[in-house]
Structure 1
Amino acid sequence: MALIEVQNITKIFGSAPKKQLAKVKEGMGKEQLLAETGHTLGLHDVSLSIEKGEIFVIMGLSGSGKSTLIRHFNRLIDPTDGHILVDGVDVMGFSIKELEEFRRHRMSMVFQRFGLMPHRTVLKNVAYGLEVQGKAKAEREKVAREWIDTVGLSGFEEQYPSQLSGGMQQRVGLARALATDADILLMDEAFSALDPLIRSQMQDQLVELQEKLHKTIVFITHDLDEALRIGDKIAILKDGVLSQVGTPPEILLEPADDYVRAFVRDVNRARVLTVGTVMQPPVMRITHDNMEKALADMRRYDEDFGYVVENKEYRGVVTQEALEEEIAKPGDSPSLYTFADDSNAVELECTLEAALPATLEAECPVAVVDEDGHLKGVLSAEGMGSVLISPDGDKFDQGEKDVSEGGAKKDKPILKEAS
């Protein structure tokens, strides 16, 4: 079960929103509703599932309803219709006291304009949420100092917000939100007021922190590059209606409609897509260290090159020509594991832009390895080009031959090993 379930949320702003709900459910759009009733349709039948530990980005242009939606999560706004469940509990059913406890302990918020109290020092700003929770002064200051250090502001504890740059102020806001140890973090356009360079640094820091903390982060932005850079999942809103939900590669390569297609048209895919997104299975995988047998296998399957693996670990690539030359030399042939060339492998999380030089220089598709050195697939210049150039991002299919001691052949669909 997802940590947060948004179920058919509709929000109508105006003097009598409940009376207008039936018209919206019957299909009346935003412009017609405003013209005929004077009511504004903020959200219409929005449903989302947000998993624990992911960065879920909600994006759209001004007026799309993204900020309205996030304010439903902690009930700064109540819906006209629909429900929001957190751990299976309907937030809409909370009493005032229950809602206060929920806001203090389950959800923290980072605001666009920092939201710092100007009369409090950095230390006291960061400790504020703990103070609201009723923590003792010594405990809350200890925790606050730890988070100040985590966001890189050690030495600024006694400074006031006015003495800090915008980026430093936002770090204080982030530390304050994290200090409460809430498992859900709401970030509404949190970095949009920052200069581009500082914004980029804050995005990097958020991703680095998330790798350690595994919070559930709901992040609002109007910037697609930002969404693609930090998001595990992205939801795109238009005029209060959900256009698409997907991973960054899904949004880029499989846009659901013309609105999303226009959004992603000018994105530099090479800087966003990772090698793991577009790699293919290796045509031939060799899982033994016998050079003569490897050459015989490659001839049998008419393959010019094969990828050598020892207990899942990638050892390198070999070619028919290199094997023939080595076997022809006098004396015993060396182990295939030591003979194979592993100089051109690229990492699974590497961007296509970073992997491009190695891919273009190689005579065969480049091996893709994970952090443990396991072979996960291969990347070819042709396969990369099909994603970077094709308007719909179609990938071409390719089978795989797995050559082990038994010489078995297996056909696998594209990207199956990546899962």
Structure 2
Amino acid sequence: MTNASGPAAAGKSVDARPVKLACRNVWKLFGAGASEFIRQRNGKASSAELVEARLVGAARAVDLEIRQGEIFIIMGLSGSGKSTLVRCMSRLVEPTYGKVEFEGKDLLSISEKELIELRRHRMGMVFQNFALLPHLNVLENIAFPLSIQGVDRAAREARAREVIELVGLRGREHFYPRELSGGQQQRVGIARSLATKPEIWFLDEPFSALDPLIRREMQDELMRLQSVLKKTIVFITHDFDEAIRLADRIAIMKDGEVIQIGTPEELVVKPATDYVAEFTRDVQRAKVISARSIMRPRGKSQSAGEVSPDARIASFSAQIVAARKPFAVVNGDGAAIGEVTPDAVIELLAGAPGEAQA
């Protein structure tokens, strides 16, 4: 596996944000005697050993760290273990072995009462199934988690109105779920999960049941909310296009294992395995690769524009090709650190990324 501190992260600045959530050698095995099996092996087992013991490894030796304020996406094909892993993170499913740490404290060692309080006050969850209560209107659905906490009616309705405004549902407070579109229902689900002001937000394929146009609208809405709220988000998807739009980092899973962790660009440019390379093969590279990756030292010709090192090629490809002149790559201090040429962009768009980076 390649993790955030391994080859996939080479050359990147260290993320100084504190670790909010971490998995330390987490296993979730299904089958008779699973706990004893993995304990006897001190948290180590091969695929052959699992098969011999007739155990299914839904999550296998998972090590990862999620930093405060980042959107961390877990993706993989159906059956890869991504949903099981996220449920282990919140202890909706009990891991068979390992540690799940929230701000450094092992969630597997806390009491049931402490866990309930943590879920109620510091975690938010949104699933593919909106799970709205059909007999409650929008305001009541969103206020429902606060009523479970014992918050008085005036306070919980005031908070519900705040998040209704936040997610763009003002005017629909008294609508019932059946009177809303799919996208509006999902906004209610998002608002309900935000009502308790969670610090970490688990989203399990929340948009996969939506039509493509509504799905993109909800992705935009999530990014807008994140720009305001700065939550720590763990997001599950099987759609790489969705992942590259949203993610700070991505973990790719296969057969219960995390194969590689990295930024979208790192996964595309430096896949750790053939599986990752195949998984990212059809990605439009111009949407992922940054100016930093294809820039060269500044030449003597005049620049026709400026871009940041992190600007995706797709965001300025039309302008640079039309200008037929290089764009300067300028850092946050306003200093030019290189340039991107039209030829490099054209080579990338034509499907020759290796030549473009030469």
CA-to-partner distance for each residue in 1:8-61, whole Å, 9 max, x for gaps?
A: 00110123211332579554317x634x43321111100001010000000000
Match of 1:20 among 16, 28, 37: 37
Query: Is 1:181 aligned to 2:197, yes or no?
Result: yes
Gaps spanning 5+ residues in structure 2: where? 1-17
Match of 2:357 among 384, 392, 395: 395
Query: Does the 8 Å CA contact 2:62/2:257 hold for their aligned counterparts?
Result: yes
User: Does the C-alpha gap of structure 1 residues 155 and 38 become closer, same or farther in structure 2, counting only changes over 3 Å?
Assistant: same
Identity percentage of aligned residues: 46
Cα distance in structure 1, aligned partners of 2:297 and 2:132: 51
Aligned to 2:9: none
The residue matched to 2:316 in structure 1 has which SS?
helix
Q: Shift in Å at residue 192 of structure 1?
A: 0.7
Trace 1:116-131 onto structure 2 (pairs within 5 A). 116-131=132-147
TM-score, structure 2 as length reference: 0.87
Gaps spanning 5+ residues in structure 1: where? 284-302, 307-316, 318-342, 397-419
Query: Is 1:29 aligned to 2:19, yes or no?
Result: no
Cα distance in structure 1, aligned partners of 2:287 and 2:308: 15
The residue matched to 1:15 in structure 2 has which SS?
coil
CA-to-partner distance for each residue in 1:184-227, whole Å, 9 max, x for gaps?
A: 00001111111111111111110111111110000001111111
Match of 1:49 among 53, 60, 65: 65
User: Does the C-alpha gap of structure 1 residues 161 and 227 become closer, same or farther in structure 2, counting only changes over 3 Å?
Assistant: same
Q: Shift in Å at residue 386 of structure 1?
A: 5.5
Cα distance in structure 1, aligned partners of 2:70 and 2:78: 25
Counterpart AA for 1:358: Q
Q: Shift in Å at residue 79 of structure 1?
A: 0.9
The residue matched to 2:125 in structure 1 has which SS?
strand
Cα distance in structure 1, aligned partners of 2:224 and 2:98: 35
| Alignment RMSD | 2.4
Cα distance in structure 2, aligned partners of 1:54 and 1:384: 29
Cα distance in structure 2, aligned partners of 1:65 and 1:230: 21
Query: Does the 8 Å CA contact 2:345/2:356 hold for their aligned counterparts?
Result: no
Counterpart AA for 1:213: L
Larger radius of gyration: 1
CA-to-partner distance for each residue in 1:70-104, whole Å, 9 max, x for gaps?
A: 00111001111100111111111110110011001
User: Comparing 73-82 with 131-140, which one deviates more in the overlay?
Assistant: 131-140
Aligned to 1:383: 344
Aligned to 1:97: 113
User: Does the C-alpha gap of structure 1 residues 138 and 357 become closer, same or farther in structure 2, counting only changes over 3 Å?
Assistant: same
User: Does the C-alpha gap of structure 1 residues 212 and 39 become closer, same or farther in structure 2, counting only changes over 3 Å?
Assistant: same
Match of 2:77 among 26, 47, 61: 61
Query: Does the 8 Å CA contact 1:275/1:355 hold for their aligned counterparts?
Result: no
The residue matched to 1:345 in structure 2 has which SS?
strand
Task: Give the total of aligned pairs.
Answer: 339
Q: Shift in Å at residue 272 of structure 1?
A: 3.1
Aligned to 2:163: 147
Query: Does the 8 Å CA contact 1:122/1:159 hold for their aligned counterparts?
Result: yes
Cα distance in structure 2, aligned partners of 1:66 and 1:99: 22
